[in-house]
Amino acid sequence: MRELPELRDRTLVFRNRREAGEVLARMLEAHLPVKARILAIPAGGVPVAVPIAEALHLPLDVAVVSKVTPSWNSEVGYGAVAFDGRVRLDEKAMAHLRVDAREAREGVERTLAKVRRRVQSLMEGSPAPLAPGETVVLVDDGLASGFTMTIAVEAVRGAGAGRVIVAVPTGSERAVNRVASSADEVYCANVRAGWSFAVADAYESWTDVDDRAVLEILEKLRLSRARSPDR
């Protein structure tokens, strides 16, 4: 795991998601092959990934993975659904949240529908094909539990990725260690220990990112790519 020791256990270390991506780009620039691919997890991972792709001249696509949340709280999760339809539930989180089997089934169905919508709108109906053994950099705006990112790693390996690198601006130490057990490498600029953790605490400016904003970003990138086919 690679971090920036000067940012350890600090809050409000990035102005916004774009600056966070610029920091990650500097951490990654000497460690990636020229044909690596950036895969952002929507929604919040996309504005972090854009400056990475720009600075390192790498293609950017999305990997739709979404946490499964209880009906009474959309901020906490007890599982995740990936773009390839795989579903994983966290039994410890379910017990802590007192999620029963019926609520879990309903939560999974809601999340599957959300993932299908996002695959259709953000991934143009299907994931971008990966070359066998391709190096992939998975980007999100932070790791709270690490469960969703772990499923993302699993899914992109299933899609043919070889080396899988995770790059996030901030993460709880427990989550970073969890993801490091499944990814080949983890880059996390701002690692924070302790029991209380919120991704938003790393940012001076924090706003929700909706699918419309993500689609606008992706459409601009696709247009730019079409104009520069050799890049």
Q: Are 209 and 43 in contact (CB under 8 A)?
A: yes
The beta-strand segments (E) located in the chain are 37-40, 60-62, 65-68, 79-82, 87-89, 136-139, 164-172, 185-192
CA distance 149 to 140: 8
Q: What is the mean pLDDT of the chain?
A: 93
Reported as a single tens digit per residue, the pLDDT across 124-174 is: 767 767 888 999 999 999 999 999 999 999 999 999 999 999 999 999 999
Q: Give the residue among 22, 13, 21, 12 at the shortest CA–CA distance from 40.
A: 21
Q: Cβ–Cβ contacts within 10 Å for residue 68, how many?
A: 28
Q: Are 162 and 132 in contact (CB under 8 A)?
A: yes
Q: Are 136 and 152 in contact (CB under 8 A)?
A: no
Which residues have CB under 8 Å from 183's CB, separation 6+? Answer: 138, 149, 153, 164, 165, 166
Reported as a single tens digit per residue, the pLDDT across 58-88 is: 999 999 999 999 988 888 899 999 999 999 9
Q: Which domains does the chain have, with CATH numbers?
A: 5-63+133-227 (3.40.50.2020)
The answer on pLDDT for 46 being more than 80 is yes
